[in-house]
């Protein structure tokens, strides 16, 4: 999905919602365990219920790798199901890869060739040669970690050098020498609030993937106030607040309702921004 296609989907659906598929069998309703592939069947039901209200899905690889081959088979089936049945949705593999150049090349081949995913989260700590192999694929997105929503983000990301430049600012500046607004996004946690102003000073036009709304306490309105740009420029992710909103036989219906509620809030924010 190109940048323009993503913008078109946002305007058409009046939504910039990304549904996180952090699928944990320990939290899934009992009714799906009677089916052949519970993880996939749970995802399938969630996807069908939420597809009208979102523009992207983000399966988190840790939740599939934890179950070995069966888990990865469910991941692949989930991605194929989205492509075949809901093709106008961006698929983001939340894998946070990044290593020395030849290893990154293999990671890139895994996700962009073997799995044919649209976008991949990448850790920037090892620098240019660990990131650029992912940027060689036309039509694919690298989503670079910039300023995350977890408590430990303060340990490194906000540390300052002698000139007062914070590490996340250095990441934003340097990485724009490697990619551009058509193939690179940044992860910025919703709990960072007003810090979105600082992000936008350095990356005014890039899309931002924003986790942390809902269960982690981030405010959608605050994210939009400080982070939205002329193209919207946001993909706001919600995982637990949608997919685990109910634990009974009506889990998918309830998930759809939660997604619709967020979509309606997003419609209001887009309207306020004149989009």
- Which residues are marked as active site? 96
SS3 labels along the chain: CCHHHHHHHHHHHCCCEEEEECCCCCCCCHHHHHCCCHHHHHHHHHHHHHHHHCCEEEEECHHHHCCHHHHHHHHHHHHHHHHHHCCCCEEEEEEEECCCHHHHHHHHHHHHHHCCCCEEEECCCCCHHHHHHHHHCCCCEEEEEEECCCCCHHHHCCCECCCCCEHHHHHHHHHCCCCCCCCEEEEECHHHCCHHHHHHHHCCCCCEEECCECCCCECHHHHHHHHCECCECEEEEECHHHHCCCCCCCHHHHHHHHHHHHHHHHHHHHHHCCC
């Amino acid at each position: 999905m190109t940048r323009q296609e993503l913008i078109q989907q946002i305007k058409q659906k009046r939504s910039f919602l990304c549904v996180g598929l952090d699928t944990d069998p320990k939290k899934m309703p009992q009714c799906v365990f009677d089916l052949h592939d519970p993880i996939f069947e749970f995802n399938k039901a969630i996807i069908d219920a939420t597809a009208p209200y979102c523009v992207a899905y983000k399966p988190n690889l840790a939740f599939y790798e934890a179950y070995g081959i069966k888990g990865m088979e469910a991941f692949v089936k989930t991605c194929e199901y989205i492509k075949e049945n809901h093709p106008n949705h961006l698929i983001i593999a939340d894998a946070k890869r990044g290593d020395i150049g030849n290893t990154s090349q293999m990671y890139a081949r895994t996700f962009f060739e073997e799995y044919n995913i649209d976008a991949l989260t990448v850790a920037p700590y090892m620098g240019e040669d660990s990131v650029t192999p992912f940027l060689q694929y036309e039509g694919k997105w690298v989503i670079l970690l910039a300023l995350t929503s977890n408590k430990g983000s303060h340990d490194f990301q906000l540390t300052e050098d002698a000139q007062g430049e914070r590490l996340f600012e250095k990441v934003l500046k340097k990485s724009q020498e490697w990619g551009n607004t058509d193939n690179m996004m940044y992860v910025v946690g919703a709990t960072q609030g007003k810090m979105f102003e600082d992000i936008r000073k350095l990356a005014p036009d890039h899309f931002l993937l924003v986790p942390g709304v809902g269960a982690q306490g981030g405010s959608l309105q605050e994210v939009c106030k400080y982070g939205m740009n002329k193209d919207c420029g946001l993909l706001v992710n919600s995982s637990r607040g949608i997919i685990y909103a109910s634990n009974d036989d009506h889990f998918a219906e309830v998930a759809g309702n939660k997604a619709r509620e967020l979509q309606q809030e997003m419609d209001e924010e887009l309207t306020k921004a004149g989009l």
